[in-house]
Amino acid sequence: MKLGFGSATAPVASGPVCLQCGTAAPSTTMTFCRRCGLPYGAPPRVEAELPSCPTCYATVGDDGRLPSFRPARGRIDLVEHMVEHEDNPVGDDDYLETLRRGDRIVIDRWEAPFDLVRRYLVTGAIDGGRRRDFQHSAIVTAMSQLKRWGPGADLFGDQAEWKLARDAVTTLMERYHRA
């Protein structure tokens, strides 16, 4: 991850942003977010569901903001945060895109849902919400096992297929995070 010092990117001068849904105002003359009915720049309502960054999956805080990659900038809105990812990528997404086939990702001889794998590479977490859809994927099994036991574990009742898939996911993880 690059540090912000000496970065070519000037401080972001984005327009008004709704802190509740993380969306930039379509024009600078608008003062309210049409979607939320909230003034731009106002803190989100207490009960609001807060937006997350599609790149690093971080959810904004109660103030509708995230910490900047450059500490001197303090907390910034989601639009500024997403611009900062141009200089602060979470991994090699160009490489990951070369493995993408539609909404799937091909890893060696297996495939799995692209978003599920990317989220695992970035956060180490597996969203089990739709587990039923991908319970037959060796890659999903491998990610679950790696999350639980880590790489190189000796698993009781292990299958050669799972071990190969775990090695493939571990290799992909290293490749994705290589600077």
Which residues of the shown chain bind Zn ion in the complex (CB under 5 A)? Answer: 18, 20-21, 33, 35-36, 53, 55-56
167-175, Cβ contacts within 8 angstroms, sequence gap of 24 or more:
168/107, 168/108, 168/110, 168/139, 168/142, 169/107, 169/117, 169/120, 169/139, 169/142, 169/143, 170/146, 172/99, 172/107, 172/117, 172/121, 173/121, 175/92, 175/95
* Distance of closest approach, residue 167 Cβ to Zn ion, in angstroms: 29
Nearer to Zn ion, 21 or 76 (CB): 21
Nearer to Zn ion, 56 or 164 (CB): 56
Nearer to Zn ion, 20 or 137 (CB): 20
* Distance of closest approach, residue 73 Cβ to Zn ion, in angstroms: 14
Nearer to Zn ion, 33 or 121 (CB): 33
* Distance of closest approach, residue 152 Cβ to Zn ion, in angstroms: 30
Place of tokens 């790149």: 55
* Distance of closest approach, residue 56 Cβ to Zn ion, in angstroms: 3
